[in-house]
Structure 1
C-alpha cells in the first residue's frame, strides 16, 4: 500500500505542476500562432526544433499542445484509477474503462504529436534515418500497454465472477 500512496503522491505532484503550466502554455502557443512577427528563440518540442514560425510550424505547435492536453486528461483518469485502487475497488467496470480510455488517449496523443512533427521534418527537408528513443513510440507503446491491461482486468473480472458463482 505504501507504493500505491507514493505513486499517487507523485502523480498528484505532476498533476499540480501540469495545471500550473497549461494556462501559460496555452497563452504562449496562442500568441505564437496568432502573431506574424518573427520569433528569435528556437522552440524544441518532441525532438523537433522550430526556428521559423511559418504555417507548418504553427500547425506542429498546435497539435503538440493538443497532444499535451490529451496526455493531461489521461493523467487525470490515472489519478481516478489510483483513487479506486486505494478504495480497494479492483475488478470493476470502472477500472477496465479507465485503463482502456487511458490507452486510447495515449495512442491518440502519440499520433497527434508524432505525425505533424514527421511531416514538418519532411517539409523542411530533414529526412534522415535515426535509431533512437522516440516519444512517439513511447506513447504508442504505453497506450497499447494500458489497453492490454484493460483486457487482462476484464478477463480477471470474468474469472472472479465465475469463481464466486461456483462457491
Structure 2
C-alpha cells in the first residue's frame, strides 16, 4: 500500500503545480500582452506570437485556458479518487464515476487540443500538417484506459456485492 501513498503525494504535488502555473499564466500573460512582448508565447510551433493581433490572441488564450482547466479538473478528480482508494474504499460508486469522468476529461482534452492545434495552424500559418503525434495518441490511450478501469471497478463492485450476499 505504500505505492498508493507515493502516488497520492505525487498527484497532490502535480495538482498544486498545475494550479500555480495557471495562476502565473493568468498574471504574466496579460502583462506581457499589455507591454507588447508576446514573442515568448508559443501558441504553435514555428510561429512568432508577436504578429498576432489582440483580437485573435484573446480567443486563442481563452480556448487554451479552457482545455487546461479541463485537464486540471481531471487531475483533481484523480486526487480525490486516490484519497478514497487510500482509505480502502476500492469499489465505491465515487471511484467508479470518477474514473469514468477522468477518462472522459482526458479524452476531451487530448482531442480538443489536437483540433485546436490543427485549426490554429490553419488560420495563422495557412499551413496544414497532417500526421499522428504523441500529443493526440497518448491522451486517447490514457482516457480510454481510465474509462476501461471504471468498467472493471464497476464489475468488481457487482461481483463483491454478489459475494457478500452469498455469505
Do both proteins adopt the same fold according to a TM-score greater than 0.5, normalized to the shorter chain? yes
Q: Is the 1:67–1:112 contact (alpha carbons within 8 Å) kept by the matching residues of 2?
A: yes
TM norm structure 1: 0.84
- 1:53 and 2:71 equivalent? no
Residues 132-147 of structure 1 mapped to structure 2, 5 A cutoff: 132-133=133-134, 135-147=135-147
Displacement after TM superposition at 1:42 (Å):
3.9
Displacement after TM superposition at 1:140 (Å):
2.3
Structure (1/2) with the larger helix percentage = 2
Rounded Cα–Cα distance in structure 1 between residues aligned with 2:59 and 2:120: 9
| Residue 43 (structure 1) aligns with | 41
Rounded Cα–Cα distance in structure 1 between residues aligned with 2:148 and 2:76: 20
Rounded Cα–Cα distance in structure 1 between residues aligned with 2:136 and 2:32: 24
Tell me which moved more, 72-81 or 60-69: 60-69
- 1:115 and 2:115 equivalent? yes
Aligned length: 163
Unmatched 5+ stretches in structure 1: none
| Residue 162 (structure 2) aligns with | 162
Displacement after TM superposition at 1:50 (Å):
4.1
| Root mean square deviation, CA, Å | 2.3
Unmatched 5+ stretches in structure 2: none
Displacement after TM superposition at 1:154 (Å):
0.7
Deviation digits for residues 49-86 of structure 1 (CA, Å, limit 9, x no counterpart): 54232444543332122111111111111111111111
